[in-house]
Each structure stands twice: as structure tokens, then as C-alpha cells.
Amino acid sequence: HHADERVDLHLSRLRVEMGLAPQTLEAYASDLRAFRSYLEETSLSLSSVDEADIAAYLVSLSRRGLSARSQARHLAAIRGLFRSLVDERARPNDPTELLVNPSAFRKLPEALSQDEVLRLLSAPQGDAPRAIRDRAMLHLLYASGLRVSELVGLELMDLNLGEGFVSILGKGSKRRIVPFSFETGEAIERYLREVRPLWARPAERAVFLTSRRGPMTRQAFWKLIRNYAREAGIEKDVSPHRLRHSFATHLLRNGADLRVVQMLLGHSDIG
């Protein structure tokens, strides 16, 4: 049991060199024992285990309900072990090097359920100009996962209603093409036909305007979305960002490719 010896050696080094408190050492020891039995079950060795194996191990810990904090401690123990193996030239590389600490994961906002999204989208009722505009904005925001700044900054020339997509100038002035549903297209068309002409000054380029005859602001849209969420009886805090997160989550749950979703959101990385 080469791995056993390695782990014991590492622990005794920690005890002597680091002068760690007995309970810390005990915690590390139990973490490393758990990792060692994982290696046995998956018939891996300390010299062959790679980054993906260790990531899979962390996922298995999180499935067992370990908190991000305990997972981070496990990873710290494993990291220490591999660093000492590299120091002793027992391994050419440290497979934990690129792994992110689990406690560093930001808590993503909990997505809205598909039912909540539908209730939110149908909250603007009736034929008042405002309701028509708000339906178009909410549908487009959810249908295309736009950032709120991209939604309020949208210009007429960015819209392609015939083909059903918008062209978005995102962060870092990168353009991306985002498709939207037929239903969303209808909501936008109705707004352009019945409402926008009432509020648009000549040469106004912004798509979404207010009755004050200027473009809609982020703050105003934020308030509006909160009010509709209340009306729809949604307890969760509904921010435009949460709608964007829900858009991504729903696509992934329904089998969309991760890279496609990444592209639609305009993320260069999908952290």
C-alpha cells in the first residue's frame, strides 16, 4: 500500500514541521483517509490521479451533503499531500493546482421555476401602452438572457424581427446574435406598432421608451420588474440578473449545450 505510506509520511511531516494542533491534524488525517479509500474504489494511485479525478471526488463530497467549507478543508488536505509529493519528486506535477477552492464559489441566485417565470411574463395585463411595452421587455429579457443594460440600450437597428433575433453589443464591445421565440417577436411587434410611435421623438434610436418620451432607464426597469413579481405572487427577490440566471438554468435543464448557453449569455468564460 504505497499510498498508505505516502499519506502517513506526509502526516508525520505535518506534525513535526508545521506544529499543527492535534485536532487539525486529526481532521487532515481523516480527510486523507477518505481520499485514499476513494482512490482504492476507483483503482487510481497517487501517481496516476489527475485534476478531473480530484474534481469528481469533490463533487462526490458535495453530493454527500458536505458544506463548501468542509469540501475546502478536504481540498486543502489533498493539496498539501500533492505539494509534498512534488517536492519529493514523487510526482512531476500537482493535479490540484488549477482547482478552485469550493468556498470561493459565489452563491448563484436560486433560479426562478419555469412556472414562476410564466407568471411573471403574464403579469403585465391588458391593453394599456405600458402593459404592452412591459410584456415585450420581459419576454425579450427572458427569451434572450440579456443583461438589463443591454435591454435598455437596445437600438432599432439591433432588432431583426423577420429572422427573430437581436444583435447585442456586449461587454468588451463584442457583438453576439441572440435568437428569440415567435411569441416574443409578436410582443415586440405589437409594442413597435401600437406604442412606440406615441412616445418616440424624431430620430430616437432606443427601442424601449417611456411615456416621458425618453429611453427606459435601468433603475426604472428594475422597479417595474419588482412590482410585477409582487403581483405574480413570487416570494423570491426578482432582479433582472436572476431572470438571466433562470434563462440559463432552464436552457441547460432542457438539454441545451453549455457552450451555446455561454455564447447566448455573452460570457467569455462560464464560471
Q: How far is it, in rounded angstroms, from Cα 157 to Cα 145? A: 19
Q: Give Dmax over CA atoms of the chain in angstroms.
A: 80
User: What is the DSSP code (8-state) at residue 200?
Assistant: P
SS (H, E, C) 130-191: HHHHHHHHHHHHHHHCCCHHHHHCCEHHHEECCCCEEEEECHHHCEEEEECCHHHHHHHHHH
- Exposed/middle/buried for residue 197 (C-beta within 10 Å: 0-12, 13-18, 19+): exposed
Q: Mind listing the pLDDT tens digit of every residue in the chain (271 residues)?
A: 577 788 888 888 877 777 777 788 888 889 999 999 999 898 888 888 888 888 889 888 888 888 777 888 888 899 989 988 888 888 888 888 877 766 555 555 678 888 898 999 999 999 999 999 999 999 999 888 888 889 999 999 999 999 999 998 877 777 889 999 899 999 999 999 999 999 999 999 999 999 999 999 999 999 999 999 999 999 888 887 788 888 888 887 777 777 777 777 776 555 4
| pLDDT score, position 268 | 54
pLDDT of residue 267: 67
DSSP secondary structure letters along 91-129: -SS-TTTTPPPGGGSPPPPPPPPHHHHHHHHT-S-SS-H
**Spatial separation of the C-alpha atoms in residues 160 and 19, rounded to whole Å:** 67
